Structure 1
């Protein structure tokens, strides 16, 4: 059990947010809405209202929150405390003024990300994940690594948010579960398909984020032509033909070609279909810093190889075929939120082709 966590009253947090006013609304995550708040001592915080019902009792919930608060690293969002009154459960975090990475990357804020800043964001995210996977006690698998869960402070230093929260709502204490917490487009295939959870699922999500940082575009973009809609597909096409630098965000006035090449190579390693082929985050750090050589990527990213899609960029417009032994399917029940589409993937529900799921989820996100 970690150190005692500061406890806030509901009245205190209600006052801090002006009764959870829409003017203080920061966004909606997979676990509930987040508001900016100013506490009595003048400190600015981010207050998350947990809207998902936890399977844990009060004492167990407090224990888990205490454990999360003890996990501290420069690249992790700090949890200040919590509020538990009746059915109300709220968490109080440090406030990050530059909001989330997806907003900065995809033009939803005025934050400008030059190349060196992007490279540093990538390195900081790697260090935060490596800490969660290999150094923290307990070791933590995030389960939902994506650009909207990477926040930026005043100096554009990245801090990973929502780590440890998925465990609060997991009623099965094993690596296997019939319900998967994550976001379509960032989900590792073994986790999405079979509920098999290891740290390599986070490595996959990071690989997608890394490609988004390089290209300045989301993992699915309906506005692009058919070859470029899926970022992983487009990145691999360019990489195969040794045109990988064409992936770079055109808004960048300049960039370091060696660093960019390393980032793309690392990202493609991280999104391999087999978890065994994905590097641990500590190894990613040494690869990206140039301390060790990046292996040549010889196989396509997942979603392009392990499912037998004849044409993942066009087939979703056709009538869906009946499931067969040769068609691998995944299932999902998606929860639509304001800024993200987090999903609990219910492996017992109606099958949907993966390419169609990604497309529909991207539309829900307004991309």
Structure 2
């Protein structure tokens, strides 16, 4: 009988132990981190009092803390992807509310963040992988520095990030006071402890983030609430962790306590058991009168010198700023920032010369590369309308368009800021760089990409955008040789359904439709004509018009009549191409170059032909009536000008290769 009782107690004990261990695999809780099992990386360190310090006041450094065992998120054994976590943090800097860069809770398939960058990237991503769906990283950022490259709303915000530092949703740090029944501002970098609650309901696919000062109960209202489907983000085996990073602005990032649960609400943290963070540094007090007088005298001298330096520097970085530009504030970049990014617009940063300005490469403090285009102007006439359109085009978002980041005005020049394209222009590879070459697969992909971007401008954005200068020089190549249509200096906007046309004759010889030369009116159809010339150019490796040669379109038709249309292909391809695709591109290029604008296809039809979703209409050499110019000496000078600026201040005569280039070296 006694033996049976002992056996029963042994079974009960082991079953209880098994259930406890199983429960621990799905959750953990730490009040302080002495004797914790966390895996640390970077600058992360557990202090003697139990505080977890992710970073110290070193510049451009990161720190990590991981729970060492992975959790099962997206598997057949997991009923949902739900999880819950809460932790208490404090960001302590020498200058209150002037620290950086912030910290984040994240879920990742790996604990290896060797290639990640500190600063604005919070130790999670870098310039190359930021935004890649293959990251499979979910994060909630507590960001204390505004980073324009990630479209941060301010320097004190909370954001939900999926595979990118560009947040799916973000809000200025604040909490709903249950007592006062109103929102209260919360300064993340104040040095005071704050608590955050992160809850994801996989059944409802609802993500909630709540924040409040320590010792205040969890507010009834969430700061962020977003419907997200994480089934494609979270893998079966994932690690949970915390990261923090510093930039040129620095902070000590502390974690006081942390609770996580994969299968239910996270356990509440007991505030009384948490170690206190170090207080913000205080200035010394009680200076005697002699020292005070000396300090005042030094201060007066420093202020005098500072004012003198300020006046000199202000003139150096002086900008033109008018009252009407207040509404465009977020889109305007400081001249000082652009001056430093381009190293003072030094000659070694020069990467291109256009019809009315120069282009320089620059690097922002966040290591983001940009191209800065300097445009001369001597009048404010029409500038308000021009800037308004530039700001509108800054909102364009398409994978095959070069991103316009913003603008700056200073004295007699306007500066436009674009994303930098490391492989430069297609024009450079086709005609200048003899060592570089593109195979047919790359060329066809570029044509499809530019066509997709142009369709977006004509039909898919909130307004109709006429580009008006489509050519190889304005197609830029990213690191993967994807084509992106750039240079929106000539582009103009119109509402859908309105008469989408302009009345200034601008563009580049060889790409101008015959009706544009006759009337000066640009339409979506004239953009299609230019794209047709561009298609022939890419396939043949020849400019639309070259001195002493028959224009390209007429030459292609002549070869077609002789039954040798494929003979016009670029010799550098060495015959390595898909014949059906080459023939499609040549015939579609001729159809887009038809002298009758009503016969030309729309960009939607062009993309359907290139994507194989529609069959190209049957055409013959005789029916392909081309409106190209047959001799260069018959072409009048083409005046390049802003529609909204007087020609006397911004007009230039263009040659067939004269344009503003955002080029790489």
**Shorter-normalised TM-score: what interval?**
0.7 to 0.9
- Alignment of 1:148 onto 2:453: no
Q: What pairs up with 1:178-217 in 2 under 5 angstroms? A: 179-217=504-542
Residue by residue, what CA displacement relative to the aligned partner does 1:65-84 show, whole Å, maximum 9, x if unpaired? 22011111111000112112
Contact 1:185 1:219 in 2 (8 A): yes
How far apart are residue 16 of structure 1 and its match? 1.6
2:362 counterpart residue number? 37
- Alignment of 1:251 onto 2:576: no
Residue by residue, what CA displacement relative to the aligned partner does 1:153-208 show, whole Å, maximum 9, x if unpaired? 0001111112364449xxxx98352x311011111111122112210111111111
Contact 2:508 2:656 in 1 (8 A): no
Structure 1 residues 176 and 160: alpha-carbon distance in aligned structure 2, compared to 1, 3 A threshold: closer
Q: Give the helix-richer structure, 1 or 2.
A: 1
Tell me how many residue pairs correspond in the alignment: 315
What SS is found at the alignment partner of 1:285?
Answer: helix
Contact 2:458 2:466 in 1 (8 A): yes
1:242 counterpart residue number? 563
| Residue of 375, 378, 389 corresponding to 1:64 | 389
Contact 1:219 1:232 in 2 (8 A): yes
Output the CA distance in 1 between the equivalents of 2:615 and 2:393.
Answer: 35
How far apart are residue 146 of structure 1 and its match? 0.8
Structure 1 residues 142 and 5: alpha-carbon distance in aligned structure 2, compared to 1, 3 A threshold: farther
Contact 1:332 1:344 in 2 (8 A): no
| Residue of 562, 577, 584 corresponding to 1:262 | 584
How far apart are residue 300 of structure 1 and its match? 2.5
1:84 counterpart residue number? 409
How far apart are residue 21 of structure 1 and its match? 1.8
1:293 counterpart residue number? 615
Q: What pairs up with 1:273-312 in 2 under 5 angstroms? A: 273-297=595-619, 298-303=623-628, 312=630
Output the CA distance in 1 between the equivalents of 2:529 and 2:518.
Answer: 14
Contact 1:149 1:161 in 2 (8 A): yes
How far apart are residue 57 of structure 1 and its match? 4.8
What SS is found at the alignment partner of 2:507?
Answer: strand
Structure 1 residues 174 and 205: alpha-carbon distance in aligned structure 2, compared to 1, 3 A threshold: closer
What SS is found at the alignment partner of 1:104?
Answer: helix
Return the TM-score normalized by structure 2.
Answer: 0.44
Output the CA distance in 2 between the equivalents of 1:53 and 1:240.
Answer: 52
Q: Which has the higher contact order (CA 8 A, sep 6+)?
A: 1
How far apart are residue 333 of structure 1 and its match? 4.5
How far apart are residue 8 of structure 1 and its match? 1.8
Output the CA distance in 1 between the equivalents of 2:596 and 2:609.
Answer: 19
Output the CA distance in 2 between the equivalents of 1:214 and 1:291.
Answer: 21
Structure 1 residues 143 and 58: alpha-carbon distance in aligned structure 2, compared to 1, 3 A threshold: closer
What SS is found at the alignment partner of 1:183?
Answer: coil
How far apart are residue 296 of structure 1 and its match? 2.8
In structure 2, the gaps of 5 or more residues are 1-326, 494-498, 644-653, 660-665
How far apart are residue 287 of structure 1 and its match? 1.2
Output the CA distance in 2 between the equivalents of 1:114 and 1:9.
Answer: 41
Which piece of structure 1 moves more, 258-267 or 44-53?
44-53
Residue by residue, what CA displacement relative to the aligned partner does 1:236-278 show, whole Å, maximum 9, x if unpaired? 1112222110011111131000000100010000100011011
Output the CA distance in 1 between the equivalents of 2:440 and 2:398.
Answer: 24
How far apart are residue 105 of structure 1 and its match? 1.2
Which piece of structure 1 moves more, 231-240 or 101-110?
101-110
Output the CA distance in 2 between the equivalents of 1:343 and 1:299.
Answer: 32
Output the CA distance in 1 between the equivalents of 2:518 and 2:479.
Answer: 39
Structure 1 residues 5 and 122: alpha-carbon distance in aligned structure 2, compared to 1, 3 A threshold: farther
Indicate the RMSD between aligned Cα atoms, in angstroms: 2.9
Contact 1:183 1:343 in 2 (8 A): no
Output the CA distance in 2 between the equivalents of 1:41 and 1:249.
Answer: 41
1:337 counterpart residue number? none
What SS is found at the alignment partner of 2:376?
Answer: coil
Contact 2:455 2:603 in 1 (8 A): yes
Residue by residue, what CA displacement relative to the aligned partner does 1:2-58 show, whole Å, maximum 9, x if unpaired? 986442221221222122122111112344211101122222100011225677555
1:175 counterpart residue number? 501
In structure 1, the gaps of 5 or more residues are 305-311, 317-328, 335-341, 346-359
2:543 counterpart residue number? 218
